[in-house]
Amino acid sequence: MPRPDLTPSPALVAQSAVQRLPRLALLLFCAAYVLPGLFGRDPWRNADITAFGYMASLAQGHSPWWAPSLGGLPGDAALLPYWIGAAAIRLLGPWLDAATAARLPFALLLVLALVMTWYSSYHLARTEAARPLPFAFGGEADPVDYARAIADGALLALMATLGLLQLGHETTPELAQLACVATWLYALAASPFRPVRAPLAALLALPALAASGAPSLLWFTWPTLPLAAWTVWRWRRQWRRRHVSVPLGMAAIALLASTAMGGVDRALMLALPALAVLTAFALPTLQRSTGAAIDWFSVFFFSLAAIAIWVVYLSLHTGVPAQPAANVAKLAPGFEPAFSGLSLLLALAGSAAWVALVVWRTGRNRHPLWKSMVLPASGVALGWLLLMTLWLPLLDYARSERPLVQRVAPHLPRGAAHCVAMPGAPLARIAAIEQLGGYTVDAVAPPERTRCSHLLRQEPRSGAAPAPAGWELVARIRRPTERSELTAIYRRRPAG
């Protein structure tokens, strides 16, 4: 068997294939991916609003900075992300609402993950073993241009990964972990080239990762996982070389952690930067038919998704066609569509850009290495842009806890001075009542020992549960998009 260090590279790349993706176009790709959803929405259900609740609790002084809590329930070990969000709320509070203020630094963490993935791929592609084979009569790719093209492909691959789409736009500790993992990947990749920056990145990444609560689903990794597997196969004789072993090892660790945690997608997200790097090294070895298959799948899938989003939007605002609006009325009763001219203009611009990209990609521009990732990445960005413009009011109504808080509020005393007991309630619901409703929550004491005048508890929709001793039922409220549970509101019975 040939020695790995003597096995020739499987990459045959001409100079024409390593033309740079224009920097302005790359920046626009990133902006279209990062910015939508940053403004104008509530924190969404479960992890997003739970994390925001801890941050707001710290910023408002309701819990100490070393022990964030919600309704008296302590948080996890992810102190650093909570501190980041709380500091942003305090700093930007005079100008922005708390949710947007907390979201801004996490958008920057997403940008950091994208940047570190680009530079990791760039430095790994500059290693001698990763370079393409020289041609007998010249014309092979310049090593620096080749490395830039590989890095462009890795960045596009990361943005094209479906699993990152929502999780990458939440205000959660996992996004901080992703940025730390990408920085650690960069430290490993750049160590031969950046003797000062690489160790510094490592020194920053590992403690930050530990302080972000790092751990001690195939659609999620599409399209990076199959292409990463192709890289491992095509470069199998060089698997011990840094451009394969570094991202492969980091991806394997994250995949094992996710498996050990029962397939948790938030742990699996930590594998995405490494998978994107591996995907980039598949690009110079792909056959033309494979690249064409990726392109046509992306064209059909994302075009159909965009058309569906537009059809529902037109139905909600014009009544034509009628059925989508009727479906929305059934699934989200009480929702009233709101028109935004700015959102419509942004959606039109994004759709026009998608059409232009499809025309460009299906034309004669078939040389750049990163070409196979352009349509998957731009398709994901288009989908996210349309959802965060045309569908944002609907999604906010369906995924925010605000509609429930608005239905509960008339049955509770007003103001933060009033205490609401919520023992056993989900953390997301506690955060919503505290931060969206403005109430003080006691989630620790049982109903018979709490000092609160009102009690909230979740009950099954089928069959009313008996009232706790000493409490009387005020109302049972259903969240508009909730099908299986009710929120029961009780008040303490008068003494005697």
Model confidence pLDDT, tens digit, residues 257-314: 777 666 677 778 889 999 999 999 999 988 888 888 888 899 999 999 999 999 999 9
The residue out of 285, 310, 337 marking a domain boundary is 285
Structure tokens at 350: 């994004």
Q: Which of 10, 83, 90 is nearest to 51 (CA)?
A: 83
Cα separation, 22 vs 74, whole angstroms:
48
Provide the 8-state DSSP code for 415.
S
Which residue's structure tokens are 């394969």?
A: 244
Q: State whether 185 and 322 are in the same domain.
A: no
Q: State whether 270 and 303 are in the same domain.
A: no
- Tens-binned pLDDT, residue by residue, of the chain (496 aa): 444 445 667 877 888 888 888 899 999 999 999 999 999 999 998 899 999 999 999 999 999 999 999 999 998 767 999 999 999 999 999 999 999 999 999 999 999 999 999 999 999 999 988 888 887 677 788 999 999 999 999 999 999 998 899 889 999 999 999 999 999 999 999 988 888 898 899 888 888 888 887 654 766 788 888 889 989 988 888 888 889 999 999 988 888 777 766 667 777 888 999 999 999 999 998 888 888 888 889 999 999 999 999 999 999 999 999 999 999 999 999 999 999 999 999 999 999 999 999 988 877 656 688 888 999 999 999 999 999 999 999 999 999 999 999 999 999 987 656 789 999 999 999 999 999 999 999 999 999 999 999 999 988 877 667 888 889 999 999 888 888 788 999 999 887 5
Q: State whether 161 and 280 are in the same domain.
A: yes
**Cβ atoms 190, 201 nearer than 8 A:** yes
Cα separation, 386 vs 480, whole angstroms:
23
Q: Which of 380, 394, 400, 381 is nearest to 340 (CA)?
A: 394
Structure tokens at 396: 């906010």
Cα separation, 155 vs 283, whole angstroms:
13
Q: Which of 50, 47, 73 is nearest to 62 (CA)?
A: 73
Is position 65 within any domain? no
Q: State whether 416 and 319 are in the same domain.
A: no
Number of independent structural domains in the chain: 3
Q: State whether 296 and 348 are in the same domain.
A: yes
**Cβ neighbours, 10 Å, residue 421:** 26
Q: State whether 277 and 321 are in the same domain.
A: no
Which residue's structure tokens are 């620790």?
A: 444
Report pLDDT for 7: 62
Provide the 8-state DSSP code for 134.
P
Interstrand relation of 73-74 and 69-70 (parallel, antiparallel or unpaired): antiparallel
Left if phi > 0, otherwise alpha if psi is -120 to 50, otherwise beta: which for 470? left
Is position 57 within any domain? no
22: Cβ contacts below 8 Å, ≥ 6 apart:
none
Tell me, what CATH number does 449's domain have? 3.40.190
Q: State whether 295 and 438 are in the same domain.
A: no
Q: State whether 131 and 223 are in the same domain.
A: yes
Report pLDDT for 41: 93
Burial environment of residue 85 by CB neighbours within 10 A (0 to 12, 13 to 18, 19 or more): buried
Which residue's structure tokens are 């009544």?
A: 319
Report pLDDT for 365: 59
The residue out of 339, 364, 399 marking a domain boundary is 399
Q: Kind and range of the H or E element at 466?
A: none
Determine the number of helices (DSSP H) and then strands (DSSP E) in the chain. 19, 7
**Cβ atoms 70, 53 nearer than 8 A:** yes
Q: State whether 311 and 432 are in the same domain.
A: no
The residue out of 346, 369, 399 marking a domain boundary is 399
Q: Domain limits at 373?
A: 290-399
Is position 67 within any domain? no
Is position 69 within any domain? no
C-alpha distances in angstroms, 237 versus 4, 208, 244? 5, 35, 10
Cα separation, 140 vs 467, whole angstroms:
78
Is position 435 within any domain? yes
Burial environment of residue 245 by CB neighbours within 10 A (0 to 12, 13 to 18, 19 or more): middle
Cα separation, 365 vs 489, whole angstroms:
63
Is position 438 within any domain? yes
**Cβ atoms 453, 442 nearer than 8 A:** no
Is position 9 within any domain? no
Report pLDDT for 4: 47
Cα separation, 110 vs 98, whole angstroms:
19
Q: State whether 205 and 91 are in the same domain.
A: yes
Q: State whether 441 and 386 are in the same domain.
A: no
Report pLDDT for 2: 45
Q: State whether 195 and 336 are in the same domain.
A: no
Task: Starting at the earlier edge strand, list the strands of the sheet with 454-460.
Answer: 440-442, 419-421, 454-460, 485-492, 471-477
